[in-house]
């Protein structure tokens, strides 16, 4: 970005809200990368694009979900978050939130019944598969599994090798998760 940009200046002009630096980052993206959530909230309220992606395919919405910034996720959803914008792994906002065990962020995303809970990323994994494969089987991952089931996730979507979430859970010894999956009709 050219010159010194102030928050007051950004809030006055829409064109400045979308200025990008050499890495494709807008002021909103930079605020999120710095963890400056108050500034990010102001920029979103001022009309900053929550879907614009930088050179590594992060968008404010995707990054907020992957970072567990639940209130920013909610703001993004209220300001036009596009569920069809994916990260560099082809994943939706829900997938990294589940993988990292951010229960509050997952709950916020699942508040919208139109969120694509069965989206498959480039690795061939859904949010549920990421919970089972990359999680630790602990209480927050059990809770997220339950939340995904209540949201209507297809518990039988297998990975690229044909291994189901239940098979992964059993192999890893995640008994609570395996039980929840079996109760939901997993095979």
Global confidence as pTM: 0.91
The phi-psi region of residue 185 (left if phi > 0; otherwise alpha if psi is between -120 and 50; otherwise beta) is left
- Interhelix angle 165-172/127-134, rounded to 10 degrees, is 10
Residues of the chain with CATH 1.25.40.20: 1-85, 89-187
Q: d(Cα 90, Cα 124) in Å, to the nearest integer?
A: 9
pLDDT at 14 over 90: no
CATH number of 1-85: 1.25.40.20
> Which residue do the tokens 């995904």 mark?
148
Residue pair 117/147 in contact (Cβ under 8 Å)? The answer is no
pLDDT in tens, 44-93: 999 999 999 999 999 999 999 999 999 999 999 999 999 999 999 999 99
d(CA 5, CA 177): 49
For domain 89-187, the CATH superfamily is Ankyrin repeat-containing domain (1.25.40.20)
Residue 76 C-alpha from the chain's centroid:
11
């Amino acid at each position: 970005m050219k010159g010194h940009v102030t928050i007051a200046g950004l809030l006055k002009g829409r064109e400045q809200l979308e200025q990008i630096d050499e890495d494709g980052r807008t002021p909103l993206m930079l605020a999120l990368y710095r963890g400056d959530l108050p500034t990010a909230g102001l920029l979103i309220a001022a009309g900053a694009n929550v879907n614009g992606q930088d050179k590594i395919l992060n968008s404010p919405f995707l990054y907020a979900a992957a970072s567990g910034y639940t209130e920013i996720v909610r703001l993004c959803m209220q300001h036009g978050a596009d569920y069809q914008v994916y990260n560099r792994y082809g994943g939706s906002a829900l997938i990294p939130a589940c993988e990292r065990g951010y229960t509050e962020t997952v709950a916020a995303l699942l508040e919208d019944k139109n969120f694509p809970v069965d989206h498959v990323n480039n690795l061939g994994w859904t949010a549920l598969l990421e919970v089972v494969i990359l999680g630790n089987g602990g209480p927050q991952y059990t809770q997220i599994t339950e939340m995904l089931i209540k949201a209507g996730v297809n518990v039988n979507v297998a990975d690229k090798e044909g291994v189901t979430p239940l098979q992964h859970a059993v192999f890893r010894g995640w008994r609570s998760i395996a039980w929840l999956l079996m109760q939901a009709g997993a095979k």
